[in-house]
């Protein structure tokens, strides 16, 4: 059975495209209605905030992404919006993967009863979301085009995966990524590079994923190993294509291990993937070699010795969470993966992080 998957219907791309956001939202506005702008608070008081196309009753909701999105936070934000209006005309997420995922989750929870915890999983969402728009300000995660909103709940880190999760509109304006700190730019960019490597070296690979993955990888090489004036534009497209590639295949060992790391230590996605990828020479030899060249070229270093001094119980949890990601391992190592990635081997990899 092939998956018949939904994609984002409307995309606008280009430098300064943000100036068209007001026009894009106009037909979605109803008399007396309002828009909710879920904006990374890093932009509070900054130029971008003053450029938001806010109208009369609109709600500006600055969000804190110090921690990656939690179900509890999504429920609080949803309650705030509900206290303000019965139903907004739209939700616009402005920021990196965290802010975009928060916007997706809020737009879903406005139309689905209960707590977001109840919807962590696959296709548990019953009602279509409120119209929602992504405006990425950081490139790499592919969250702008994926069908998931990754959330950490009390029991698991698992996304709200559904066709309703997909944005209705994506606005790609490479100018918006200008202020990203260098390390963050690199870590989140590497998330994209790793999506490509894992997709292209996986057993789930097919012509669809290969087409997007190869183009995305080519763009990553241009961005991280060459000099180009429009490298921000290229990275934004790499992120989009990388997301399309894994949408029809899967990620692999690096993401599986990074979930374990992040579950126990709260390590953020981009940097967590870099830390993990750096010990995967045996699985992705060429990918890791080039990754190290990129790191050296941009003089980026990684946090080290994260797992030193961790309790046995924490190490066990890390291994368990990671090895629980069956499709990722199967994509990476094939049906026989459990005989190849044993708990002892996973543990040894974690001990080197
Ligand atoms: P992020 O959104 O967590 O942001 C990282 C940092 O960069 C924050 O401090 C933020 O304020 C700052 N920032 C963002 N844009 C900026 C700008 N233009 N100028 C200055 N600072 C800026 O980082 P991310 O790596 O984009 O996203 C990670 C999150 O995405 C994780 O929660 C991860 O689980 C999620 N994710 C989701 C998907 C998906 O398909 N939904 C895929 C991969 C990752
Ligand atoms: Zn990723």
Q: What is the pLDDT of residue 207?
A: 98
Given the CA of residue 41, which atom of ligand 1 is nearest to it? 11
CA torsion angle 203 207 209 213 (round to 10): 100
User: Is the CB–ligand 1 distance for residue 165 below 6 Å?
Assistant: no
Q: What sections of the chain are H helices per DSSP?
A: 21-25, 47-50, 71-84, 97-109, 182-200, 207-225, 231-247, 253-265, 269-277, 285-297, 312-323, 326-333, 337-340, 343-351
User: Is the CB–ligand 1 distance for residue 256 below 6 Å?
Assistant: no
CA 178 to chain CA centroid, nearest Å: 19
User: Is the CB–ligand 1 distance for residue 146 below 6 Å?
Assistant: yes
Q: Which of 96, 145, 174 to mutate to test the pocket of ligand 1 (most atoms within 8 A of CB)?
A: 96
Q: What is the pLDDT of residue 154?
A: 87
Given the CA of residue 187, which atom of ligand 1 is nearest to it? 25
Is the Cβ–Cβ distance between 90 and 171 less than 8 Å?
no
- Report the C-alpha gap between 125 and 108 in whole angstroms: 8
Q: What is the pLDDT of residue 231?
A: 98
Ligand nearest to the CA of 143: 1
User: Is the CB–ligand 1 distance for residue 158 below 6 Å?
Assistant: no
Q: Which residues neighbour ligand 2 (ion) by CB within 5 Å?
A: 191
User: Is the CB–ligand 1 distance for residue 188 below 6 Å?
Assistant: yes
- Report the C-alpha gap between 311 and 242 in whole angstroms: 36
Q: How many CB atoms lie within 10 A of CB 29?
A: 15
- Report the C-alpha gap between 182 and 187 in whole angstroms: 9
Is the Cβ–Cβ distance between 101 and 149 less than 8 Å?
yes
Instruction: Give Rg (Cα) of the chain.
Output: 20
Q: Is 283 exposed, middle or buried (0-12, 13-18, 19+ CB in 10 A)?
A: buried
User: Is the CB–ligand 1 distance for residue 161 below 6 Å?
Assistant: no
- Report the C-alpha gap between 182 and 29 in whole angstroms: 38
CA 290 to chain CA centroid, nearest Å: 22
172 - beta bridge partners? 13
Q: What is the pLDDT of residue 1?
A: 84
Name the stretches of the chain with pLDDT < 70.
none
Q: Ligand 1, atom 43: nearest CA belongs to which residue? A: 141
- Report the C-alpha gap between 193 and 190 in whole angstroms: 5
Tens of pLDDT, residue by residue over 82-111, are 999 999 999 999 999 999 999 999 999 999
Q: Ligand 1, atom 34: nearest CA belongs to which residue? A: 150
Given the CA of residue 268, which atom of ligand 1 is nearest to it? 31
User: Is the CB–ligand 1 distance for residue 184 below 6 Å?
Assistant: yes
Average pLDDT, the chain: 97
Is the Cβ–Cβ distance between 173 and 14 less than 8 Å?
yes
Tens of pLDDT, residue by residue over 253-312, are 999 999 999 999 999 999 999 999 999 999 999 999 999 999 999 999 999 999 999 999
Residue holding tokens 């967590």?
272
Q: What is the pLDDT of residue 3?
A: 86
Domains and CATH numbers, the chain: 10-177 (3.40.50.1970), 182-351 (1.20.1090.10)
Strands 169-172 and 10-13: parallel
- Report the C-alpha gap between 292 and 289 in whole angstroms: 5
Q: How far is the CA of 69 from the centre of ligand 1 (A)?
A: 10
Q: How far is the CA of 137 from the centre of ligand 1 (A)?
A: 8
User: Is the CB–ligand 1 distance for residue 95 below 6 Å?
Assistant: yes
User: Is the CB–ligand 1 distance for residue 162 below 6 Å?
Assistant: no
Q: Ligand 1, atom 27: nearest CA belongs to which residue? A: 97
Q: Ligand 1, atom 8: nearest CA belongs to which residue? A: 65
Q: Which of these, 173, 108, 105, 172, lies nearest to 144 by C-alpha position? A: 172
């Amino acid at each position: 059975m092939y998956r018949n998957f939904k994609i984002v219907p409307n995309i606008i791309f280009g430098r300064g495209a943000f100036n068209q956001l007001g026009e894009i939202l106009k037909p979605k506005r109803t008399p007396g209605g309002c828009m909710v702008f879920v904006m990374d608070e890093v932009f509070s008081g900054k130029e971008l905030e003053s450029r938001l196309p806010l109208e009369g009753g609109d709600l500006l909701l600055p969000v804190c992404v110090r921690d990656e999105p939690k179900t509890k936070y999504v429920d609080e934000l949803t309650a705030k919006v509900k206290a303000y209006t019965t139903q907004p005309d739209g939700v616009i997420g402005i920021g990196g993967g965290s802010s975009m995922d928060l916007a997706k989750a809020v737009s879903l929870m406005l139309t689905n009863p209960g707590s977001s915890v109840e919807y962590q999983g696959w296709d548990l969402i019953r009602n279509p979301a409120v119209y929602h728009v992504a405006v990425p300000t950081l490139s790499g995660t592919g969250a702008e085009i994926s069908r998931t909103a990754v959330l950490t709940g009390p029991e698991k880190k698992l996304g709200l995966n559904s066709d309703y999760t997909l944005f209705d509109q994506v606005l790609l304006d490479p100018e918006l990524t200008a202020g990203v700190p260098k390390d963050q730019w690199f870590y989140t960019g590497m998330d994209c590079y790793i999506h490509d490597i894992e997709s292209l070296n996986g057993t789930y690979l097919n012509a669809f994923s290969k087409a997007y993955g190869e183009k995305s990888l080519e763009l990553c090489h241009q961005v991280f190993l060459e000099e180009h004036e429009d490298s921000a534009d290229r990275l934004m497209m790499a992120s989009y294509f990388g997301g399309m590639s894994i949408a029809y295949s899967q990620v692999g060992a690096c993401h599986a291990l990074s979930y374990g790391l992040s579950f126990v230590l709260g390590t953020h996605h981009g940097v967590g993937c870099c830390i993990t990828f750096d010990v995967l020479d045996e699985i992705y030899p060429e990918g890791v070699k080039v990754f190290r060249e990129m790191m050296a070229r941009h003089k980026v270093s990684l946090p080290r010795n994260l797992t030193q001094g961790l309790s046995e119980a924490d190490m066990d949890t890390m291994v368990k969470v990671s090895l629980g990601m069956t499709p990722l391992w199967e994509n990476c190592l094939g049906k026989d993966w459990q005989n190849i990635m044993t708990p002892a081997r996973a543990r040894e990899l974690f001990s080197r992080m």
